[in-house]
Structure 1
Amino acid sequence: MPLWLGILLIVVALIGGTFLGFFMARQYMMKYLKENPPINEQMIRVMMSQMGRKPSEKQVRQMMSQMNKLQDK
């Protein structure tokens, strides 16, 4: 095998591996965040309580639906 062909194959493999690794890691993180959302209802209640408000269930549900809409985009 000529030297230039070997070098070309190594460069192509490195570039292909980089792109493949990036997209696989991105897909894994998107799946992980969908299954384990970073903010849940309990966190919203605690946050609103710390701000001095007693949140109603309706307010908590509204905030969760807004968070889910933003996450889907």
Structure 2
Amino acid sequence: MDWMLVIVGLIALLAGAAIGFFIARKYMMSYLKKNPPINENMLRVMMMQMGQKPSQKKINQMMKAMQNQMK
């Protein structure tokens, strides 16, 4: 009977870890979607610091590329 308790404990541990992982992943994806780590103004400033003159078209392309990376 002791080995049965160990097996049930291991299964419960693995199931809890898997469920926790997916809950944390879903939470982080929704958080990043609501609060993107970079916005258009930050991107514009970064491009200007690199010596590029940012056009709205280029900024939109870069924002879209970053959003596709997050999916």
TM-score by length of 1: 0.80
Q: What secondary structure, in the 3-state scheme, does the structure 2 residue paired with 1:30 have?
A: helix
| Unmatched tracts of structure 1, length 5 or more | none
Deviations 1:27-50 (A, max 9, x none): 111111111111210111111010
Which is further off, 37-46 or 56-65?
A: 56-65
For residues 63 and 32 of structure 1, what CA distance do their matches in structure 2 show? 20
Runs of 5+ unmatched residues, structure 2: none
Alignment pair present for 1:57 and 2:52: no
Q: Which residue of 1 aligns with 2:20?
A: 21
Aligned residue pairs total 71
Shift of 1:70: 2.6
Deviations 1:12-66 (A, max 9, x none): 1111111111111111111111111112101111110101122122222222122
Residue 30 of structure 1: aligned partner: 29
Secondary structure in 2 matching 1:13? helix
- For residues 69 and 4 of structure 2, the distance between their equivalents in structure 1, rounded to whole angstroms, comes to 48
Identity %: 52
After the TM superposition, which segments of 4 or more aligned residues of structure 1 sit over 3 Å from their partners? none
Query: Normalising by structure 2, what TM-score?
Result: 0.81
Distance 2:56 2:36 in 1: 19
SS in 1 for 2:52: coil
